[in-house]
């Protein structure tokens, strides 16, 4: 497919499973796509996607994050939350005021950090229920088509989210711009807080949590604290609604290894600081304790050495 010069030229930081998927999807509708990496292994990456029996592939140009590559906007960030600060910091001086940055990743906290560093950027956030795994670095296998929701906090950002959603819908995927992206991100965060670290504690797939009374009790305690913090942050939530949603997702993704357990098994840093750790931080800002989240955060952090100075 020849790139259409009237379509956006996307830069993707962190082309793992979701980033690689969107690289191929955006390429399929004629967008130019460049991958941005901290330490590129080669000037091109051959990404391949298997979706049922259909395979698509493309060679994408790769540029180093610290190389002079302007303009970078729109920039899609799909790094794991735990890798984002290191990956994004060298890019910050290369972003211009008003540039669009779209964060599509698990967990929360990175957008706040980015807004503090660069209040002049147009920062959008997105969540997805697409399921994709990577048997090898550059081979993606679609596990299930989900929905991607994009939004922004200001009217201008919401308009930008709408434009991006319209463009991404051309891929044929379920993509929507939503006015309440923060509420939806909190709901997704609650589900991740209730499932991911407990699969790590019990070394089990998501669905197995539902068969363990002690895991269900811990899920409920975590949800109760998340609901309090959500309400303090201005988002309606109850323990029952978050717990029910977490149980439903654990059931639907029953045989999945959660991303956190996969990280622990592969001895990679986890996203705990951007999930339950974020709840603890936000609760402290409001002057309250969240012992169930603090305990599981400490437990998961102890599994992997964290850089000195990180909280």
Which residues are the active-site residues? Answer: 188
Instruction: Choose one: 115-123, 171-179, 225-233, 252-260; the region binding ligand KPL (CB under 6 A).
Output: 252-260
Give, rounded to a whole angstrom, the gap between the first and last alpha carbons of the chain.
46
* 34-72 burial code (b ≥16 CB/10 A, e <16): bbbbbebeeeebebebeeeeeeeebebebbebeeeeeeb
- Let me know if 160 is exposed, middle or buried by CB neighbors in 10 A (0-12, 13-18, 19+): buried
Choose the binding region for ligand KPL from 38-46, 57-65, 96-104, 255-263 (rule: CB under 6 A): 255-263
**100 scored as a contact of ligand KPL (CB under 6 A):** no
* Phi, psi of 242, rounded to the nearest 5 degrees: -70, -40
Stated as kind and residue range, the H or E segment containing 19 is: helix 17-28
Question: Residue 276 interacts with ligand KPL (CB under 6 A)?
Answer: no
Write out the binding residues for ligand KPL, residues 176-235 only, by CB under 6 A: 191-192, 195-196, 206
- The piece of 7-15, 58-66, 70-78, 253-261 that touches ligand KPL (CB under 6 A) is 253-261
The correct pick among 161, 249, 272, 279 for binding ligand KPL (CB under 6 A) is 249
In whole angstroms, the minimum distance from the beta carbon of 166 to ligand KPL comes to 26
**Rounded CA gap, 20 and 134, in Å?**
10
- Smaller CB separation from ligand KPL, 72 or 250: 250
CB of 143 to ligand KPL, least distance (A): 10
Give the Cα separation of 149 and 153 in Å (integer).
14
Nearest distance from C-beta of residue 298 to ligand KPL, angstroms:
20
Pairing of strands 139-144, 147-151: unpaired
Decide: is 270 part of the binding site for ligand KPL (CB under 6 A).
Answer: no
Q: Supply φ then ψ for residue 160, to 5 degrees.
A: -65, -40
Total residues contacting ligand KPL by CB under 6 A comes to 11
Candidate residues 79, 84, 171, 259; the one interacting with ligand KPL per rule CB under 6 A: 259
The pairing of strands 54-64 and 44-51 is antiparallel
Question: Which residues of this chain interact with ligand KPL, rule CB under 6 A?
Answer: 106, 191-192, 195-196, 206, 249, 253, 256, 258-259
């Amino acid at each position: 497919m020849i790139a259409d010069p009237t379509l956006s030229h996307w830069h993707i930081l962190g082309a793992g499973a979701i980033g690689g998927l969107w690289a191929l999807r955006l390429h399929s509708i004629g967008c130019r796509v460049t991958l941005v990496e901290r330490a590129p292994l080669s000037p091109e990456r051959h990404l391949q996607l298997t979706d049922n029996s259909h395979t698509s592939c493309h060679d994408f140009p790769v540029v180093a994050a610290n190389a002079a590559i302007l303009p970078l906007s729109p920039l899609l960030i799909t790094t794991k939350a735990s890798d984002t600060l290191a990956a994004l910091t060298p890019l910050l001086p290369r972003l211009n005021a008003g540039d669009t940055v779209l964060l599509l990743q698990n967990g929360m906290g990175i957008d706040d950090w980015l807004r503090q560093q660069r209040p002049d950027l147009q920062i959008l956030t997105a969540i997805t229920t697409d399921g994709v795994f990577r048997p090898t670095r550059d081979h993606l296998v679609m596990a299930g088509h989900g929905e991607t929701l994009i939004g922004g906090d200001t009217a201008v950002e919401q308009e930008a989210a709408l434009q991006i959603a319209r463009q991404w819908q051309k891929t044929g995927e379920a993509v929507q711009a939503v006015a309440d992206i923060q509420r939806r991100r909190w709901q997704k965060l609650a589900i991740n807080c209730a499932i991911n670290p407990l699969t790590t504690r019990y070394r089990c797939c998501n669905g197995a949590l539902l068969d363990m009374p002690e895991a269900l009790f811990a899920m409920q305690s975590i949800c109760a604290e998340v609901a309090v913090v959500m309400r303090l942050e201005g988002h309606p939530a109850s323990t029952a609604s978050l717990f029910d949603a977490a149980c439903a997702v654990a059931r639907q993704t029953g045989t999945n290894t959660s991303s956190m357990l996969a990280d622990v098994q592969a001895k990679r840093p986890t996203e705990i600081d951007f999930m339950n750790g974020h709840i603890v931080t936000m609760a402290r800002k409001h002057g309250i304790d969240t012992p169930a989240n603090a305990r599981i955060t400490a437990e998961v952090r102890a599994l992997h050495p964290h850089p000195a100075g990180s909280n």
